[in-house]
Amino acid sequence: MELNTLRETVNTNGEYSCGDIGVSASEWLGLLKQPEARKYHEALFCFLREPNQKGSCTSVAQKYGKSLNYYNGNVKGFSQWVQKRLNRFRVIGIKGSETFWPIAMEKGWQTKKEFLWLLRTELTEALRDLLMEHLIEEFRKRKPFYGYEESYKWQLLDNTEGKDALGIIRALKGKNIVANAYVDPVFNKLNKEKPSELIVCGEHLLDETIPIDKRIARFKQEMQGLGHEDWKNFANDERTASAILTCAYPEKYTFYKWEVYKRLCEYFGYDINKKGTNFGNFMEIINNLVAKYGETVQQIMLSEIDRYKNKPLNLAIQTLFWCLKDFMLKEMDAAKQHTSQTSTDEGTDHSRFDKGVITWKRHKNIVLYGAPGTGKTHSIPEYAVRLCCPTFNANHAERSQIVAIYNQLKEEGRIAFTTFHQSMDYEDWVEGLRPVVTDNNQVGYNIEAGIFKRLCEKANDTNTQEESMQNDFPRNSSTLPDGENSSKPYIMVIDEINRGNVSKIFGELLTLLETDKRKGNPNAEKVVLPYSKEAFEVPANVFVIATMNTADRSLGALDYAIRRRFAFIAERPYALDNEGFDRDLFKQVSQLFINNFDEYEKSNFDSTFKLQAADTLSADYKPEEVWIGHSYFLMHDENGEDFTNDRILYEIIPLLEEYIRDGILTTDAQTTIDELYDRAIK
């Protein structure tokens, strides 16, 4: 059979191409599934995930960590294999010799620094199909929902069938479809104060004669208009709008969440739309996949959802992506050379918290330390819930769920919270005398337990009850996960521990904090308290977690005796996978503190990665102590409004200038500050 000769050309715009090579998406998919092609998949996926599927070996190598030759060799090798396998065409380059890159690549452009290539449209489609089939097989391993409980979504669709917008809004309360902690209070208030206006707003959202993006924008504006000026949240985000739309038209829409949309786009190589149009783009992607894979995915979970009336295929696809979002992230990270070599999840929040809890269990007392904005106090519910509720799957839970359980633990007395300050002393912490007025108007003094002693007494009471009832302790909480009341840790939270005189506050109890000095241990110790004259010991099920700001040297330092009784966990800045996080600004400011930011980023923000101090950082400080935290770079408020300029002008710049005055940063940092100022006022 004579081969068809295709000739590469270059037009006046410098665009190289050999035109259509006659390989359909289905034929590409068949080729990709061949065992011989598997070794090329990783390199092809890297080009798929470049913006618009356009990249160079240089850009891909920089992003994923392997050598330029690795990507060059794999794309060329794949193209040669395809040409040989099909044996029906060959491509002659502009220099007259046979060339292979144009087989996999539709077009190419020579720039001053590199050669850019555009992946073929049909090959792009085939690679996405290959990835989707891979996800389906992974999902099938743990059917019906990959270890999650997702059937409540189908139940909600049945419960809201035929309801108007207001009925749907009421049904969403507490269902974990929206961010209930923020959305429910808004809807409750508007339902009481402005029900008719809320109905009109909902009807406008459900008006199918208007394009979806315009309806989303109108919903955002109208909901904000219904709220009060001092409200921080208006329940007008795309996730909330999608929930109302899905309950009204389940065959046309499905539930949306930014995290899932972003992960989906990154994994399959779709461009992320601008804010306000994400849901429409999400539905376009989902609907395309429904046409190909909807029935297949639904069959995997059919045994669990068959009892429901409403079974839209788009919800089956959405559920697969929600359940596999962490799996997709892990696979994308594995494409990076450092990840494949070290095989660590250290850069993820979940792994960090899980490992921190292991340390906490061993030492009983931990301090989360770091600079402002690193999320020390924000992390406490994550640690506390994992410690108190080990069977609860915190790694796959909404933040609102974790906070709700944390608050329930506080209400039950399992968690006590305090902030240390200069006026706090032993009497506040352990016990002291408190003046009281007697019945005959005389002043007397009662012995009153401090916050830590009260917590220890509760922990002791629990242990006594459990022993006497032979561990048959009755559950008294309907909100904690099953099985979380039979073994009950008690937690003392100390915010800003170094703002107080720690030795003065703890007194003789400092010795009792040690693990082997706790009640029930062979080396257990007791002390006689000075006021009550009672023997006191710290129960083994009492855990202490504290936060410490390391940027302010004016605060009290912890002496060695105190440090020996605590494990210290650094809370480092890292890039957040959140809508509104300004990654470029985070990098720009971070480079004032470390000079190996790119390597730290490539390590997936591994908490064990060794940071190298930048030249603009004083030699008296370590980066971990003063590096501005990631929360400063969240540039959207609760309503999704961008306030980047305000945050730069009134939070980031003042803090950096204070760092220069305090000698933390050198005056060379002023150049970056000036650049930030110019950006903010434009």
Distance CA 126, CA 130 (A): 6
β-pairing verdict for 15-17 and 9-10: antiparallel
Does residue 140 sit within a domain?
A: no
Distance CA 218, CA 43 (A): 43
Mean pLDDT of 6-23: 93
- The most confident of the ranges 112-121, 358-367, 555-564 is 358-367
Mean pLDDT of 320-329: 93
Distance CA 337, CA 371 (A): 30
Q: Which residue has the tokens 């809890």?
A: 357
Query: Nearest 5°: CA angle at 577, between 571 and 581?
Result: 90
Does residue 222 sit within a domain?
A: yes
pLDDT for 553: 62
The pLDDT tens digits of the residues spanning 145-203 come to 988 889 999 999 999 999 999 999 999 998 889 988 889 999 999 999 999 999 999 99
Confidence of residue 335 (pLDDT cuts 50, 70, 90): confident
Distance CA 507, CA 528 (A): 12
Beta bridge partners of residue 444, listed in sequence order: 436
pLDDT for 108: 93
For the chain, the domain total comes to: 4
Confidence of residue 568 (pLDDT cuts 50, 70, 90): very high
Other residues' Cβ atoms within 10 Å of the Cβ of residue 170 = 13
Identify the burial level of 268 via C-beta atoms within 10 angstroms of its C-beta, where 0-12 means exposed, 13-18 middle and 19 or more buried. buried
> How many residues does this entry show for the chain?
682
Distance CA 303, CA 320 (A): 15
pLDDT for 264: 96
pLDDT for 485: 41
Confidence of residue 479 (pLDDT cuts 50, 70, 90): very low
Other residues' Cβ atoms within 10 Å of the Cβ of residue 647 = 19
pLDDT for 463: 56
Candidate from 290-299, 341-350, 354-363 with smallest mean pLDDT: 341-350
pLDDT for 339: 35
322/223 same-domain check: yes
Instruction: Name residues whose C-beta falls within 8 Å of residue 405's C-beta, 6 or more positions apart in sequence.
Output: 381, 385, 388, 389, 392, 479, 480, 481
Residue 676 structure tokens:
């930030």
Alpha helix stretches (DSSP H) within 10-150: 25-32, 41-48, 57-64, 68-86, 101-104, 121-140
Distance CA 255, CA 607 (A): 34
Q: Helix, strand, or coil here: 443? A: strand
Query: Nearest 5°: CA angle at 263, between 635 and 643?
Result: 10
407/544 same-domain check: yes
Candidate from 290-299, 415-424, 552-561 with smallest mean pLDDT: 552-561
551/642 same-domain check: no
The pLDDT tens digits of the residues spanning 612-669 come to 999 999 999 999 889 999 999 998 876 667 788 999 999 999 999 999 999 999 999 9
Does residue 142 sit within a domain?
A: no
Asked if residue 464 has pLDDT above 80, the reply is no
Instruction: Name residues whose C-beta falls within 8 Å of residue 647's C-beta, 6 or more positions apart in sequence.
Output: 632, 633, 635
76/98 same-domain check: yes
| Residue 640 backbone zone (phi > 0: left; psi -120 to 50: alpha; other: beta) | left
Does residue 215 sit within a domain?
A: yes
Peptide bond into 144 cis (omega under 30): yes
Contact between residue 267 and residue 227 where contact means Cβ atoms under 8 Å apart: no
pLDDT for 641: 75
Distance CA 533, CA 536 (A): 9
Query: Of 570, 597, 621, which one is at a domain's C-terminal end?
Result: 570
436/521 same-domain check: yes
Report percent pLDDT > 70 for the chain.
92
β-pairing verdict for 89-92 and 4-7: parallel
Question: 612-620, long-range: CB within 8 Å, 24+ apart, which pairs?
Answer: 615/666, 615/668, 616/592, 616/665, 616/666, 616/668, 616/669, 616/672, 617/592, 617/593, 617/664, 617/665, 617/666, 618/663, 618/664, 618/665, 618/666, 620/663
Instruction: Name residues whose C-beta falls within 8 Å of residue 448's C-beta, 6 or more positions apart in sequence.
Output: 431, 432, 433, 434
Of 577 and 208, which is predicted with more confidence?
208
Distance CA 238, CA 240 (A): 5
CATH number at residue 527: 3.40.50.300
Confidence of residue 337 (pLDDT cuts 50, 70, 90): very low
pLDDT for 59: 85
Asked if residue 476 has pLDDT above 90, the reply is no
Contact between residue 497 and residue 395 where contact means Cβ atoms under 8 Å apart: no
Beta bridge partners of residue 544, listed in sequence order: 365, 492
Confidence of residue 398 (pLDDT cuts 50, 70, 90): confident
Confidence of residue 252 (pLDDT cuts 50, 70, 90): very high
Sign of CA dihedral 69, 72, 78, 79: negative
412/292 same-domain check: no
Query: Of 308, 337, 366, which one is at a domain's C-terminal end?
Result: 337
Mean pLDDT of 546-565: 78
pLDDT for 462: 64
607/524 same-domain check: no
Does residue 454 sit within a domain?
A: yes
Residue 620 φ/ψ, nearest 5 degrees: -80, -5
320/356 same-domain check: no
Does residue 37 sit within a domain?
A: yes
Does residue 476 sit within a domain?
A: no
This prediction has a pTM of: 0.59
Residue 266 structure tokens:
């990154």
pLDDT for 395: 76
pLDDT for 1: 63
Asked if residue 482 has pLDDT above 70, the reply is no
pLDDT for 630: 93
Query: Of 292, 310, 337, which one is at a domain's C-terminal end?
Result: 337
| Residue 65 backbone zone (phi > 0: left; psi -120 to 50: alpha; other: beta) | left
State the average pLDDT for the chain.
Answer: 88
Distance CA 255, CA 393 (A): 22
Angle between helices 41-48 and 121-140 (to 10 degrees): 110
161/12 same-domain check: no
164/112 same-domain check: no
Does residue 477 sit within a domain?
A: no
Of 342 and 243, which is predicted with more confidence?
243
pLDDT for 344: 36
Query: Nearest 5°: CA angle at 434, between 428 and 440?
Result: 165
The residue among 595, 646, 467 whose CA lies nearest residue 539 is 467
313/361 same-domain check: no
314/278 same-domain check: yes
Domain hosting residue 107, numbered range: 4-124
